[in-house]
Amino acid sequence: MSASSADSGLLRRTVAAVVPPDPAAISDARLRQAQLTKPPGALGVLEDASLALCGIQGTCPPRPLVRPVVAVFAGDHGVHAQGVSPWPQEVTAAMVANFRAGGAAVNVLARQVGADVLVVDMGVAADLDPGTDLLDRKIGRGTADLATGPAMTRAEAERGLAAGIEVAHLLVDRGHDVLLTGDMGIGNTTPSAALVAAFTGADAAAVTGRGTGVDDATHERKVDVVRRALRARPVGDDPVETLASLGGFEHAGLAGLVLGGAARGVPVILDGVIAGAAALVAQALAPDAVGYCFAGHRSVEPGHTVALERLGLRPLVDLDLRLGEGTGAVLALPIVQAAGATLREMATFDSAGVARKDGRR
C-alpha cells in the first residue's frame, strides 16, 4: 500500500469512528445536575460542560481528568515570504527548543495545572534534534507559499491529518485522558485566517488579525494575501483540498488530533485561532467531532470568534490572549476539571437532607 493510501484509509476509518457524544450519559448528567445542592442552573457554563464531558466519556458521573497533555504542533509557512509576520522564520525552530527546555509560556502554565507538554514537528523548515518528539518523521519542511499556489499537496495534507490521528492514539494509549492543542509556526495566523474565511464564507478583512502584533501595512498585506488566495483558488466542498490549498502542516496535525480524540472518546481542549481553524477542517470532515471539543478560550484574533461561532462552541476563558502554544487551552483545563468534579462530588438534596425549593425533602 502506498503511504498516501494508508493515510487516506486511516482518515476514512477515523471519520467513520466518530459518533455523536452518548445521549444516555448526557441525559443521566442532566438528571444528576438537577439533584445537586444548588439552585438549578446556578453553576452556569460548568453545568453545560459537565453534560458535555459525560457525553464524551459515555458515562455519568464523568471520570476525573488526571493525565492532561498539551500537544504542540509546529510548522513553517511559505507565505512568510510575503512579509505577513515581523518575526524571522527561525523563531519556530528556536521556540521548539524552548518548549523542550520548559521555558515557554505554555510550559509555565502547564506546570501550574500538571499537564505534560509534548512537541510534534509537523513541518518545521529546519532540521530539529528529534528530542522527545512524538513523531519519528517530519510530514514536510514548511509549506509552499499559499499566496502563489496551494500550500500543500493533497498527499501532504492527508499525511498531516493521519499524523495528527496517530498522535491522538499514541497519547490516549499512554494514558492521557484529555488532549490540549498547541501550535507554533511563525506566520500561521495568515493560513488560519484563510481557513476560517474558506470554511465560514466570512470576508478576509473580518477574519484576519494582527497575529504577533503586526503594523497597519503588514496587516493590509495579510488581508490582501488571504483575499487573493481565496479568489485564485475558490474552495469547493472537499475539506482536505481546502486544507491543502490554504493551511499549514500544524493545522493538518491539529485537525487530525481532534478527529482522533473524538474517535477515542477523549475530550479535546482547543486553544486559539490556529486550533479553531483546524477544528473547522475536522468539523467539515466529521461534524460530530465538535461534540468532543471544548473551546479553551477566545483569542484576540478576529477569525477565532468567527470560527467559534461556526463550531458552536463557547470559550471558557476570555483574557485577551494572542499567543497560541496552547496557553488558552491550558488555562481552561481547571474549568473543565471543575465541571466534572462538581457533577461527580457534590451532595444531592437527598444525601445532604437539604430541602428543595418547594420544601420537599
Ligand X SMILES: O=C(O)c1cccnc1
User: How many CA atoms, within 13 angstroms, populate the side-chain half-sphere of residue 283?
Assistant: 20
Whether 220 sits among the annotated catalytic residues: the reply is no
297, β-bridge pairs: 317
Contact between 212 and ligand RBZ by CB under 6 A: the answer reads: yes
Give the nearest distance from C-beta 235 to ligand RBZ in angstroms. Answer: 21
Judged by beta carbon, residue 221 or residue 264, the one nearer ligand X is: 221
Provide the mask over 201-220, with x wherever binding to ligand X is found by CB under 6 A and - wherever it is not: ----------xx--------
Residue in this structure with the C-alpha cell 481547571, named with its chain if needed: 334
Region of 163-171, 173-181, 206-214, 349-357 interacting with ligand RBZ (CB under 6 A): 206-214
Task: Candidates 325, 326, 328, 343: give the one binding ligand RBZ (CB under 6 A).
Answer: 325
CB 46 within 8 A of CB 335: yes
Burial 87-115 (b: 16+ CB within 10 A, else e): eebebbbebbebbbeeebbbbebbeeeeb
Helix (H) or strand (E) holding 72: strand 68-75
CB 336 within 8 A of CB 322: no
Contact between 301 and ligand X by CB under 6 A: the answer reads: yes
Query: Which of ligand X, ligand RBZ, none is residue 187 near (CB under 5 to 8 Å by kind)?
Result: ligand RBZ
Contact between 253 and ligand RBZ by CB under 6 A: the answer reads: no
Give the nearest distance from C-beta 12 to ligand X in angstroms. Answer: 29
Contact between 95 and ligand RBZ by CB under 6 A: the answer reads: yes
Cβ count near 141 (within 10 Å): 14
The residue annotated as part of the active site, out of 158, 241, 325, 345, is: 325
Region of 4-12, 36-44, 124-132, 319-327 interacting with ligand RBZ (CB under 6 A): 319-327
Judged by beta carbon, residue 95 or residue 293, the one nearer ligand RBZ is: 95
Task: Candidates 33, 188, 245, 337: give the one binding ligand RBZ (CB under 6 A).
Answer: 188
Contact between 27 and ligand X by CB under 6 A: the answer reads: no
Query: Which of ligand RBZ, ligand X, none is residue 56 near (CB under 5 to 8 Å by kind)?
Result: none
Contact between 299 and ligand X by CB under 6 A: the answer reads: yes
Helix (H) or strand (E) holding 48: helix 44-57
Under 8 Å CB-to-CB from 237, ≥6 apart: which residues?
none
Question: How far, CA to CA in Å, does 280 sit from each of 18, 252, 290, 313?
Answer: 15, 11, 9, 11
Provide the mask over 237-276, with x wherever binding to ligand X is found by CB under 6 A and - wherever it is not: ----------------------------------xxxx--
Contact between 271 and ligand RBZ by CB under 6 A: the answer reads: no
Task: Candidates 28, 304, 332, 333: give the one binding ligand X (CB under 6 A).
Answer: 304
**Judging by beta carbons within 10 Å of its beta carbon (0-12, 13-18, 19+), is residue 31 exposed, middle or buried?**
exposed
CB 181 within 8 A of CB 54: no
Phi, psi of 244 (to 5 degrees): -65, -40
The residue ranges that bind ligand RBZ (CB under 6 A) are: 85, 87, 91, 95, 183-190, 211-212, 214, 323-325
**Which residues are known catalytic residues?**
325
